[in-house]
Chain A
Amino acid sequence: MYRIALKMLMGDRGKYLGLIMGLTFAALLITQQSSIFTGLMTRTYSFINDLSQPDIWVMDPKVQFIDDVKPLQDTELIRVRGITGVEWAVPLYKGLLKARLADGNFQIVNLLGLDDATLIGGPPVMVEGSLSDLRRQDAIIVNDVGAATRLAKKPTEPGGKPTPLAVGDVLEINDRRAVVVGICRVSRTFQSQPVIYTTYNRATTFAPRERKLLSFVLVKAADGVDPKGLAGRIARGTGLAAYTAQEFKDLTFDYYMKSTGIPINFGIAVMLGFLIGTAIAGQTFYNFTLENLRYFGTLKAMGTTNAVLLRMIVLQALVVGALGYGLGIGAAALFGYLMRGTELSFRLVPEILVLAGGAIAVIVTLSALLSIRKVMKLEPAIVFKM
């Protein structure tokens, strides 16, 4: 009987494909939008991920997320170093500054100033040059995407390609000369600005004059010292905020979740996919059942029990659900693959596959319930009237 149920389903090509397309669209939209959302949210703390060396980030207590820099006095670094359990503590400058390009245009860049002595906090991957080249005069290291796009030199001929910024090229940052000594690769950030590394002291000369310039203090806990406990002691001892790397990521993530419209916008897109999928699949499946009501009635008259009819409908729903889900997540994965290396953030994690699977399961369950109700209440005597 189950094979007959499948042939009933697949024999009606139009409705069968319509059902699968509806569910595929729902799975695709839910998976794709959730993956872009996840990718975008991951970018909010990608800079913290790239700095793997420090255990603890120390900052002004009012800081809400990684890009919300509230400068500290340089003396705070000394106070942090004085806390028991700190193996090392180094300064980090982080700020958005204007860079003047060779063609005279300006571009906002994300400038990072690393501890002059140790260069702790440098980029995770060097594409060209080395981190120690930062010790040369006026040296900066630029990330590859920024160098190839926003900092690239304009084509000399109309229609030509821009020339990526290269080692040896010169920029002006806040009217000061900056020489490119290396190209690095960093994780894409939420703001998508070019990332420029230099030393802390040089960064303070690039930055506009302010009384306080220290953005963060990066701390490594001594061997055997619990970073979480140490962060608590630093906070109590200095009156500053001190977070483990994970806590700082959570703080940043929570800020974007609660204080921006991003979750709502993506939530609406996901909900739209769910509702459209439910409407298309539900209506098509119900119409399919209505058109086959005569045959369900005939089967019932011939002695098929309600339990068998129920299992036949559930099987039909499961098959279209599984196919729609598979095609939908496959299409979403293909989309992510094709968009790799572009500005688009796309991160497909197992939790999203579970979410999309759950949503499709709910859609097919709702669709099947309507049909099951109709067939269960069907009087077999109807077959003599159809």
Chain B
Amino acid sequence: MSQNGTAVSLRGVTKAYGAGTSRVQALRGVDLDVRLGELLMLVGPSGCGKTTLISVVAAILDHDEGEIVVFDRDLKSMSPGEKTRFRGANIGFVFQAYNLIPTITVTENVAIPLLILGSRRADALARAGEVLGTVGLGDKLEALPAALSGGQQQRVAIARALVNNPRLIVCDEPTSALDHDTGRLVMEVLRKNALSEDRALIIVTHDNRIFNFADRIARMDDGRIILVEPQVATS
């Protein structure tokens, strides 16, 4: 656990795509702290750099300049192999389109992070079953993803993000493909099961219906954080 209660710290982070005349500056010196135990939402217009920001924080994209420290580890100093291991052990992902492998069962999908870390298959499946129970899908263990509704699939994705107890969970538009009631249900499941004192959540969203689930909201525009405001959470 971080010594000062900060899960993620960004200072002067920049990232550009392309070169020459086609160069696009996605991040223009981002400063941001994400605290342990909080749910931070990143909001802003399309193309403002939200997805790039969570990608560099989640160590799946290299930043150009500045400093990113995640749980006291400076991402710049890590080799690609170290970053891969770091992600496997510390970061959970929830995607807009769920990204569940369609040809394997819900339980097997949830067990994947544990299998990546080297758990025995039987242990991984047992733990996956437990976590699916906590998100209300204990009766769907052997179902294929296609047999589930969108909301259920997103709950499976949340279970997959939680199964190995990562300390940071990054979510990209987790409710944008869901109707209002289902979106709220998914956020309730996420807050209830994912938030803890030693974990942080970063959610990128356009969906202002779920802003009240955030502890803080960081507004982005043109590659910068322009405002960080507190928000009363409903839990």
Which residues of A approach B to under 8 Å, CB–CB?
1, 3-4, 7-8, 10-12, 294-295, 298-305, 308, 379-381, 383-386
Contact = CB atoms under 8 A, between A and B. Distances in A.
Nearest to A385: B51
B101 A384 contact: no
A94 B44 CA distance: 96
Interface in B78-108: 81, 84-85, 87-89, 93, 95-97, 99, 101-104, 108
A381 B101 CA distance: 18
A199 to B, nearest CB: 75
B113 interface: yes
A7 B103 contact: yes
Contacts of A8: 101, 103-104
Given A4-B112, A304-B116, A383-B60, A298 B93 contact: yes
Contact of A303 (B54, B88, B103): B88
Contacts of B81: 305
Contacts of A384: 51, 54-55, 95-96, 172
Interface string B166-199: 0000001000000000000000000000000000
Contacts of A4: 101, 104, 108, 112, 115
B116 A302 contact: yes
Interface in B116-137: 116-117, 121
A10 B102 CA distance: 11
Residue among B85, B101, B104, B121 with max Cβ neighbours from chain A (10 Å): B101
Contacts of B99: 294-295, 298, 383, 386
Residue among B58, B88, B103 with max Cβ neighbours from chain A (10 Å): B103
A386 B60 CA distance: 14
B93 to A, nearest CB: 6
A151 to B, nearest CB: 63
B1 interface: no
B147 to A, nearest CB: 13
Given A294-B97, A380-B60, 8 more contacts: A1-B116, A298-B93, A299-B116, A300-B60, A300-B84, A304-B116, A381-B55, A383-B99
B62 to A, nearest CB: 9
29 contacts: A1-B116, A3-B121, A4-B104, A4-B108, A4-B115, A7-B101, A7-B103, A8-B104, A10-B103, A11-B103, A11-B104, A295-B99, A295-B101, A298-B99, A299-B116, A300-B60, A301-B93, A302-B88, A302-B113, A303-B84, A303-B85, A303-B87, A305-B81, A381-B60, A383-B93, A384-B51, A384-B55, A384-B95, A386-B99
Interface of B: 51, 54-55, 58, 60-61, 81, 84-85, 87-89, 93, 95-97, 99, 101-104, 108, 112-113, 115-117, 121, 172
B103 A302 contact: no
A8 B109 CA distance: 11
Nearest to B61: A381
Contacts of B58: 301
A295 B54 CA distance: 19
Contact of A302 (B51, B87, B102, B121): B87
Nearest to B170: A384
Which 10 A-B pairs have CB atoms at the shortest separation, nearest pair first?
A: A303-B88, A11-B103, A381-B61, A380-B60, A381-B55, A298-B99, A381-B60, A303-B87, A384-B51, A303-B116
Contacts of B54: 384
A311 to B, nearest CB: 13
A295 to B, nearest CB: 5
Given A298-B93, A301-B87, A303-B84, A1 B103 contact: no
A380 B95 CA distance: 13
Nearest to B102: A11
Contact of B60 (A3, A295, A301, A305): A301
A299 B99 CA distance: 10
Nearest to A379: B61
B4 to A, nearest CB: 26
A298 B172 CA distance: 13
B207 to A, nearest CB: 16
